[in-house]
Structure 1
Amino acid sequence: MTARELDGGRFVRQANRFTGTITADGEGGYPAEPGRYRLFVSLACPWAHRTLIVRRLLGLEEAIPVAVVDPIRDERGWRFPEPDPVTGATFLSELYLASDPGYEGRYTVPCVWDTVTGRLVTNDFPAITIMMGDAFAAFRSPGAPDLYPAELREEIDELNGLVYTTVNNGVYKAGFATSQDAYEEAVEALFATLGRLEERLASRRYLFGDRLTEADVRLYPTLARFDAVYHGHFKCNLRRLADHPNLWGYARDLYAIPAFGETTDFDQIKRHYYVTQRDINPSGVVPRGPLLDWTAPHGRNRVGGSGDHRS
């Protein structure tokens, strides 16, 4: 199954092939050791963006080194601007095939490479951020937030499930739909959930009150790309993010936190989607807009607590 496989005109995302787990005690063969693992990301990719946010929030920059691929991808997959100094790879595909010579899927980011065994541990993007918080707990900065607190995990998982299905992946379902019915179905579900989130954030600074959680980390990358890419390129144009006062203020509030704002690269985001996805944008022309002020006052400090997160 490829990332563009369709079912009745509906977009189907490929399953994650590598699902190894790094643990604090090394059970399963992958112990959490600072510097041992290499995180491969694209600044354009929303799934990879999550991992950069969590890495920064938890202060794991030295414990988990990162390598960034070029935002423009072709039929050979993600390319490194220069050969990766640790693995020597020029294309991410080399690491996938070194781990599984028979691999036939798309070469996706984020993924985690083990420098000891010389193979990929995981490209299971929903699990990577949770694993970073749990397995690398001993290496987190003092005062780092607990993004996945035990008492909220069930509620966080439930909200994340809805957001993934209708928002994070929902924009792709709309953008890559090849039938009107599939497109309408995806867009309606997307904006229904955005409406629910708009209401939720009317009385809460973050999705779970005055504390950042994994749920905020997972929603933000889609919001950051919404008006810049998804509204036009993916035809998610019933309303802009900026037309949702609470969501737009919430997104700017998160952007003001360095872990979110300083990992958001609008140039790479726009160039990746508009130049790479020629089936949707054959010309490869990158639009100049939208012109949005992400640094404008958001006023969210008056909603549900102070939420002071400087990382």
Structure 2
Amino acid sequence: MSITPLAAVPSAHRTAPGFRGRIGRDARSGHYAVPHRYRLHLSTACPDGLRLAIGHHLLGLHGSCPVTFLPAVPDCPGGGHAALRPLYEASAHHYTGPALAPVLSDDWSGRIVSTHAPEILRDLDRFPGDGRPSLYPRGTESEIEAVERLCAEGIQEAAQRAGRADADPAERAAALDLLLDTLGRLERYLAGEEYLVDGRLTAGDLELWVSLVQLDTVHRYHLDASAVHRIAGHPALWAHARRLAAHPAFGTHLDLDGIARRHHGHCQGLEAAGAAVQILDWTRHASR
């Protein structure tokens, strides 16, 4: 994908997590990529958890890095998962914050390696494997990062601002314009290409797919029907989403009921007319 127009998008600023250990390529890193040492803890109702579940599946790490799937809605007062509390308490003295997912833990020490999803996915990509494809092929890193920034700011954040009931109408309109411009740029590219980067399935496609899932299953509930119809008017983009939904690594991890329960548990906004305008029938297209 030509990233020249995308590279101008500034970096997204996500909330800094509490643990950001990295898995290196050898023993000198402290945490090195060895089978049967690490474990993922995630909820596929969460966008970060869904990204990691798909990436883990694509990388074929089922036997070497097990996954513990968590409930869609956190079960601790104030947020967090009770099952993760021992890991947090072992990793930070007198820890009193919420035990949030996703988590990559070290079974050898019983402690947390990282809670930072983008770095976890990159580190999983370092695990040894014979003949498996890489989610971050050498030489494509900057292009994939540009796609990730574009999705974070031009789709996820723009859609959230466009649907804020307490925002100024001009601010909502500007956010919707940014969202539609972003979708239009991706539409023009995907009209002639099967994948976003280097002609193959990479983390860029994974990022876009999860962003489109959130757009259709969460954000559209806070947009008016006209806006959702305009969002839906990108046939190549949504055809790309349908194709990936039919891929076992994507469709098998799509928990629509869990996403809905998580959304209703967290959302403080008002539902708009767009709620009735579903863009994709995800259940029909998802592989099971």
TM bucket normalised to smaller: 0.7 to 0.9
Would the alpha carbon gap of residues 213 and 264 (structure 1) be closer, same or farther in structure 2, given more than 3 Å must change?
Answer: same
Structure 2-normalised TM-score?
0.81
The one-letter code sitting in structure 2 at the alignment partner of 1:35 is H
Matched, 1:165 2:153: yes
Task: Report the counterpart of residue 151 of structure 1 in structure 2.
Answer: 139
Task: Choose the corresponding residue for 1:293, options 277, 281, 287.
Answer: 281
- Please give the secondary structure, in 1, of the residue aligned with 2:218: helix
Give the Cα–Cα distance (whole angstroms) in 2 for the partners of residues 234 and 27 of structure 1. Answer: 50
For the aligned residues, what is the CA RMSD?
3.0
Q: How many residues align?
A: 269
Contact 1:256 1:295 in 2 (8 A): no
CA contact (8 A) 1:34 1:63 kept: yes
- 2-side partners of 1:53 and 1:174: how far apart? 28
Q: Give the letter for the 2:191 counterpart.
A: A
Partner of residue 116, structure 1: 108
Deviations 1:35-71 (A, max 9, x none): 2111111110111111111111111011111111111
Secondary structure of 2:41's counterpart equals strand
Tell me if 1:259 matches 2:249: yes
SS at match of 1:232: helix
Give the 5 Å matches for 1:1-311. Answer: 13-73=14-74, 75-79=77-81, 90-101=82-93, 103=95, 107-134=99-126, 136=127, 138=128, 140=129, 142-175=130-163, 178-180=166-168, 182-208=171-197, 210-233=199-222, 238-240=227-229, 242-274=232-264, 276-280=265-269, 290=278, 292-294=280-282
Give the aligned residue type for 1:153. E
CA contact 2:147–2:204 (8 Å) conserved in 1: yes
C-alpha separation in 1, matches of 2:113 and 2:80:
18
Counterpart CA distance in 2 for 1:13 and 1:130 is 17
> How far does residue 133 in structure 1 lie from its aligned partner after superposition?
0.7
Deviation string, structure 1 residues 177-205 (Cα, Å, up to 9, x no partner): 74325544433322221111111111111
Deviations 1:60-103 (A, max 9, x none): 01111111111123643233xxxxxxxxxx34344323322455
Q: More helix per residue: 1 or 2?
A: 2
The two structures have a TM-score, normalised by structure 1, of 0.75
